[in-house]
Amino acid sequence: MIKFTLDGVAVERRKFTQLPSFLAARAQAALEARASTVAAQIAAAYPVVSGGLQSGVIVRSQPRKTKARVLIVHKLRRAAAYEKGTKRRTTKKGWYRGQVPRVEPGRNFIPKIMQARVDLVPRIAAIMRAEGLTVSGG
């Protein structure tokens, strides 16, 4: 009978099983940093009327064991009217209440979020490469 003993396999196996949570923790830090920057940019783009639009942009960090997750949300419902615009508004009695014009595309919430996602791809890839993983595509 032949018996092979491989030294260090247990250590490497433990590292391999802990890799998803380790990568998620590293990615979470990158996500939180980028989300804070983008939230500040979004808030700065809103007009100053009462200050509610600026203060309504919040970052919610929701890390999981093997997932990195950060949400940028607006806690005011009227932010959607600012982002998308509204039709001509009237009361039940027919009194005109105005119209909220749609903002120019460069100032919207969604384009800034989409650009932030694109900007994060190289950062996440760098984190993975630093751990010795091969990253391809995208």
* Contact present, 36 and 59 (Cβ < 8 Å): yes
What average pLDDT does range 46-71 have in this prediction?
A: 86
State if pTM tops 0.75.
no
Q: Tell me, what's the pLDDT at 107? A: 64
In a domain? residue 81: yes
In a domain? residue 61: yes
In a domain? residue 35: yes
d(CA 19, CA 8): 17
d(CA 105, CA 37): 19
What average pLDDT does range 21-33 have in this prediction?
A: 92
What average pLDDT does range 86-109 have in this prediction?
A: 77
Q: How many domains does the chain have?
A: 1
In a domain? residue 2: no
CA distances from 128 to 6, 75, 99, 124 (A): 27, 34, 48, 6
**Average pLDDT for the chain:** 84
Q: Tell me, what's the pLDDT at 103? A: 67
In a domain? residue 38: yes
Q: Tell me, what's the pLDDT at 105? A: 60
- Segments forming the whole domain that contains residue 68: 10-128
In a domain? residue 50: yes
In a domain? residue 133: no
What average pLDDT does range 95-108 have in this prediction?
A: 72
Nearest-5° angle of CA 106, CA 87, CA 79?
A: 50
What average pLDDT does range 120-124 have in this prediction?
A: 92
In a domain? residue 18: yes
**Hey, CA dihedral for 40, 46, 51, 56, is it positive or negative?**
negative
For residue 35, pLDDT over 70 is answered with yes
Copy the structure tokens of residue 88: 């001509």
